[in-house]
Structures are given as structure tokens and as C-alpha cells.
């Protein structure tokens, strides 16, 4: 059966971690787009207030109090969604907790609890969603919220980074298995950069100062838009924010140097002035109900994220960039040395865009054969 996802207005969407931050921003945006939302979190009071707000504005929202680290609670989420709305079209695993500390100072039980939520919460939610999609028939979307730290590591958030690496490995392996079965299920990993949510206040903090996230910081709504794009359009990965992507690229190019720089730069950028939060959400619900951090404001737009959502635009912009660079570097010694560097930098972007939208790439080539030939020559 071919994979075909419904428009948001026709969907029933389950969102875990919906009581604050990215989950709450996603819930509000999904409901405004017409989707019915099933919101899960540990904080009953915050959940009910959020659902009352959405329903009062004409949306459709249903709360489920659940701890995603408990498989039985996750099954309860699915049962509640089916009882209230009769089906599930998209399942979003967003619930997560944080822990600021050097790894040698992290108590074993805290490390284990973090993985219980961040990793096993994703495992429980993913398997429950896949079970439902297969039993129901038809297409479905599974969206797991990882992090830019799914690709790199960082000091002071080592346990968190390890859990997000595990989420990436699980998500990729599950996608391969579903593709082998030809199951019509879209599996997406969302990888946010630093986001201006209450994360740093909710996280357990064993440092001597209040915690924050390093710049550049993006608004939670940028992540919510990426998540909802994946709910309606099959996509493998979406990285939110060029800032985080640049860190990944720098680590891939020069891992030793990047390790040293991260060790020097990240710790001071992870601390802020002011009093530390008096409570955290590692074991118990936090002070929920907020989308944004009270200490840092995020950028409302990411061009890099937008280009990933619209690969045809990426293809066009990349072609223009190569054409412009080729014209500028068209002759002499500069051309012989710089042109290959430009081609190596742009080639993966164009190839990835063309593979995502082969029909669009073919149409562009047919309409502009001369430019396509020049582009192909520049990228040899």
C-alpha cells in the first residue's frame, strides 16, 4: 500500500510531553490547523488547562495523564485516543527530561531515570503507534523528537546527549524494518538545535549556577512547524536551526579540534546569571504550562529549516548559487582551485534535493537544458 499522509485538518494526533515547550507549541498549532489532538504528560492540572483552552477556542483536545517511561501508561494513551477519536493518524514522541552535570557526578539512578523517559518513552510510544497503524491499515506518521545532540556530544549534557543518540539509533533501525516490510508508515527524526523552551529550568541541575542553552536559540514554534510538516509530508530527518547543523559539520570535518573547542566554549555558555530553579522534572512533573523560556528568546524563523521542508526551493537556490559561483570563478587560477571546493560544498545539497523530488529536478532539467548541462559539468 502506498504511503499517503492526510492533511492536518483531517488528522488525529497524539503528542507526548504536551504540557510545555515544544510539545505545547505543537499541540496549539495542530489544533489551530484543525487536527484533533490527544495530549499526554504527567502534569494533570496543566494538561486539563491546556485542553480547556484549546476546546474553548473551537479546537478538539483530550488530556491523558501518563508517564511515557511506563509502557502501561503509553498503552493507556492509545486506548484513550481510540475511545475519544476512534483512530490515530500521527504519533509524536516529544516527552523528555534534562540533566546538567559532569558525567562523573551523575548519580546512577538519575542517569537511569533520564533514559527511562528520553529513550524508553520513545520506544514505548513508537511501538504502540506502529502496532496501531498496522492493525488499522492505511498510512500513519511516527515522529520522534531527538536533538542536534543525536549527532554530536557536549559537556554538561552528556547523559542527555547519550539518550538522544539512542533515540536516533532506534528510530533509524525501526525505519529500516518498516521499509523492509513495505509498511506505509512515515518515520521522522526531528533534531532541534538550542530552543528557547523552559528546558533548562525544568532540567535537574547539578552545576553551581543556573542553567541555560547555548546560542543561537530558536523559538519552539519553529520546531512545532517542522514537526507538523512531517505529520503531513513523509520526510526522514529535519534539523531545526542552522546553528546546530554547523556544529555537526564542524565536528565531522575536524572532530579533535571540535572536541577541544566544545570543552572550552560550551560550559560557560550553558550557565547564566540568576538563581537556580528550585525544582526539576526528572522524577515528578515540573512547573508546566509555558511554551517559552522566561530567560531567553528564540529566533522565530530558520531559513535552513525552511529549505529542508521545501527541497524544490533548495534545488533552485543551490543551482543559482553554483551558477553564480561558476560565473565569478569562471577563469584563471582561482577557477582551477576554488571551483572544486564550491562543487564539493554544494553537491550533497543538490543531490539530496534531487533525490527527494526527482520529478521536480527532471522538469527543471527539461525546461533549462543548457543550465542543467552547465550545472552537471560544474559538479563533476
Q: How far is CA 102 from each of CA 61, 106, 157, 337, rounded to the nearest angstrom?
A: 40, 7, 8, 44
Query: What percent helix, strand, coil does the chain show, rounded to 5?
Result: 55, 15, 30
Cell numbers that stand for 177 in this block: 524494518
| Residue 33 CB neighbours (<10 A) | 17
Please list, residue by residue across 90-115, b when 16 or more beta carbons sit within 10 angstroms of its beta carbon and e when fewer do. Answer: bbbbbbbbbbbbeeeebeeebbebbb
The DSSP code sequence of 282-319 is: SSS--S---SS-SS---BS--HHHHHHH-HHHHHHHHH
160 belongs to the catalytic site: yes
Residue 16: φ, ψ to 5°: -90, 160
For residue 69, what are the contacts with CB-CB under 8 A and spacing of at least 6? Answer: 113, 116, 117, 120, 121, 124
Name the nearest CA neighbour of 361 among 139, 370, 352, 325. 352
| Residue 34 CB neighbours (<10 A) | 14
Cell numbers that stand for 369 in this block: 537544458
Cell numbers that stand for 135 in this block: 492493525
Cβ 58 vs Cβ 35: under 8 Å: no
- Tell me if the bond preceding 216 is cis, omega within 30° of 0: yes
Out of 160, 218, 283, 304, the active site residue is: 160
Where is 145: in which H helix or E strand? strand 140-145
Length of the chain: 380
Strands 210-211 vs 271-272: parallel, antiparallel or unpaired? antiparallel
CA 307 to chain centre: 15
Distance CA 81, CA 64 (A): 9
CA 80 to chain centre: 25
Residues with catalytic annotation?
Answer: 160
Amino acid at each position: 500500500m502506498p504511503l499517503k499522509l492526510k492533511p492536518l485538518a483531517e488528522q488525529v494526533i497524539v503528542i507526548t510531553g504536551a504540557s510545555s515547550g515544544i510539545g505545547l507549541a505543537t499541540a496549539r498549532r495542530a489544533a489551530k490547523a484543525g487536527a484533533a489532538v490527544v495530549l499526554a504528560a504527567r502534569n494533570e492540572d496543566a494538561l486539563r488547562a491546556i485542553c480547556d483552552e484549546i476546546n474553548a477556542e473551537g479546537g478538539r483536545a483530550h488530556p491523558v495523564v501518563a508517564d511515557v517511561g511506563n509502557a502501561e501508561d503509553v498503552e493507556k494513551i492509545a486506548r484513550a485516543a481510540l475511545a475519544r477519536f476512534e483512530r490515530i493518524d500521527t504519533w509524536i514522541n516529544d516527552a523528555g527530561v534534562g540533566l546538567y552535570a559532569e558525567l562523573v557526578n551523575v548519580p546512577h539512578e538519575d542517569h537511569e531515570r533520564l533514559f527511562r523517559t528520553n529513550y524508553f518513552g520513545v520506544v514505548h510510544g513508537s511501538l504502540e503507534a506502529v502496532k496501531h497503524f498496522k492493525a488499522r491499515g492505511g498510512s500513519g506518521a511516527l515522529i520522534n523528537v531527538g536533538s542536534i545532540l543525536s549527532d554530536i556530544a557536549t559537556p554538561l549534557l552528556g547523559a542527555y546527549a547519550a539518550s538522544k543518540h539512542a533515540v536516533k539509533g532506534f528510530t533509524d533501525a525501526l525505519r529500516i524494518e518498516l521499509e523492509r516490510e513495505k509498511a506505509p508508515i512515515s518515520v521522522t527524526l526531528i533534531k532541534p538545535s538550542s530552543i528557547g523552551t523552559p528546558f533548562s529550568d525544568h532540567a535537574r541541575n547539578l552545576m553551581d549556577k543556573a542553567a541555560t542553552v547555548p546560542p543561537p536559540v530558536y523559538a519552539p514554534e519553529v520546531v512545532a512547524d517542522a514537526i507538523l510538516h512531517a505529520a503531513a509530508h513523509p520526510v526522514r530527518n529535519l534539523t531545526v536551526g542552522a546553528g546546530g547543523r554547523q556544529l555537526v559539520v564542524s565536528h565531522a570535518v575536524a572532530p579533535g579540534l571540535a572536541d577541544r573547542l566544545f570543552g572550552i566554549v560550551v560550559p560557560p555558555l550553558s550557565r547564566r546569571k540568576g538563581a537556580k530553579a528550585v525544582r526539576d522534572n526528572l522524577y515528578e512533573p515540573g512547573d508546566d504550562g509555558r511554551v517559552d523560556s522566561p530567560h531567553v528568546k528564540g529566533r522565530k524563523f530558520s531559513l535552513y529549516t525552511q529549505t529542508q521542508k521545501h527541497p524544490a526551493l533548495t534545488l533552485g537556490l543551490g543551482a543559482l548559487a553554483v551558477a553564480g559561483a561558476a560565473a565569478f570563478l569562471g577563469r584563471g587560477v582561482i577557477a582551477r582551485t576554488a571551483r572544486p571546493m564550491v562543487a564539493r560544498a554544494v553537491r550533497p545539497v543538490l543531490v539530496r534535493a534531487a533525490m527527494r523530488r526527482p520529478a521536480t529536478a527532471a522538469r527543471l532539467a527539461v525546461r533549462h537544458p543548457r543550465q542543467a548541462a552547465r550545472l552537471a559539468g560544474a559538479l563533476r
